[in-house]
Amino acid sequence: MRFLPSTSSDGVREQLFTLGEIPGVLWTPDGGGAVTRPLVLLGHGGGRHKKDPEISALAHRLVTECGYAAVCVDVPAHGDRPEVEEYDRLAAENQARVEAGEELAPLIADFQALVARRTVPEWRAVLDAVRVLDHVGPGPVGYWGVSLGCGLGVPFVAAEPRVRAAVLGLGGAHASADAASRITVPVRFLIQWNDERVPREQSLSLYDALASEQKSLHANPGGHGELPPSELDDALSFFTRYLTG
C-alpha cells in the first residue's frame, strides 16, 4: 500500500493511496491517534469515482460527526483506472440490445455481476490493508453504496463477514437476489419511487430477498439521481446504531 502525502481540511485527513493497481482514498479524523474506530467502505456510482462529491461529502460527515474512518476505491474502468476492453465491448453490445428492444435493467444487472467478480476480492484486500493502519484499526466495518454501489455492494456484503451493517439501494433483484439471500446483517435499503432506471418491482424484490432480520426499506419520491439529503442524515444514524458502542 503506497500513500501520497496526506492533506487536511475541516478536521478531516485525506490520504490518496494505491493498493496494487487499485487507487483509493482514506478519510480519518485529523490528528486522530492510534485509536481503533469503525470503518465504512463507500461504493461509488456508475460513471463516478472515489472522490465523487456525494462520496466525499458522506465520508467527511462520517469522520466529523461519527469519528469513523471512511474509504473508497475506484471501480475498474472508473476514475483513475484504465478502461477494460471486455467492459467496453459488453457496453456496446448492451446498447445495441436495448436499441433492438431488450429491457435495460437485466443487462445492467448482468454487467454489474461481472464487475463484482473483480471488486469483491479487491474490496476485501482494501479492508485487510486499511484495518492494520494505526489510525484505523480492526474495528467494526460498514458498507454504503447505491446504484452501481448496490450492484457491487450486495455480493461484497454477502461475502465479507467483517461488514456488520450496510446501506444499499437504487438497485434491483435481477442479478443480486441470490447474493442478497446470504446477507444477514442489518440493512437500510433505499428506493426512489419514480426511479427511471430500476423498475420498482425489481427494487422491492431485492429488499424482499435480503435475509437480514433487521432490514428497513426507505422509499422517497423522485428519480434515480434524486435521493433526498435526509437519507444521508439517516445513514449516519443507522451506522451509529450498529457500528458504535
Residues forming contacts to a copy of itself in the complex (CB under 8 A) are 191, 193, 204, 207-208, 213, 215-221, 230, 241
- Radius of gyration from C-alpha coordinates of the chain: 17
- Other C-beta atoms closer than 10 Å to the C-beta of 227 total 20
Minimum distance from residue 218 beta carbon to a copy of itself (Å): 6
Round to the nearest angstrom and report the end-to-end CA distance of the chain: 30
Nearer to a copy of itself, 78 or 218 (CB): 218
- Residue (32 or 228) nearer to a copy of itself, CB: 228
Host H or E run for residue 166 = strand 163-169
Q: How far is the CB of 232 from a copy of itself (least distance, A)?
A: 14
Instruction: Give 117 or 241: the residue with its C-beta nearer to a copy of itself.
Output: 241
Residue closer to a copy of itself by CB (options 79, 142) is 142
Q: How far is the CB of 203 from a copy of itself (least distance, A)?
A: 11
Query: Which are the contacts of 9, defined by CB distance < 8 A and separation ≥ 6?
Result: none
CA dihedral angle for residue 163, residue 165, residue 170, residue 172, rounded to 10 degrees: 70
Least separation in angstroms between residue 216's CB and a copy of itself is 5
CB of 41 to a copy of itself, least distance (A): 24
Nearer to a copy of itself, 104 or 219 (CB): 219
Distance between CA atoms of residues 205 and 13, nearest Å: 39
Contacts of 72 (CB under 8 A, 6+ apart): 24, 25, 41, 42, 43, 44, 50, 51, 55, 59
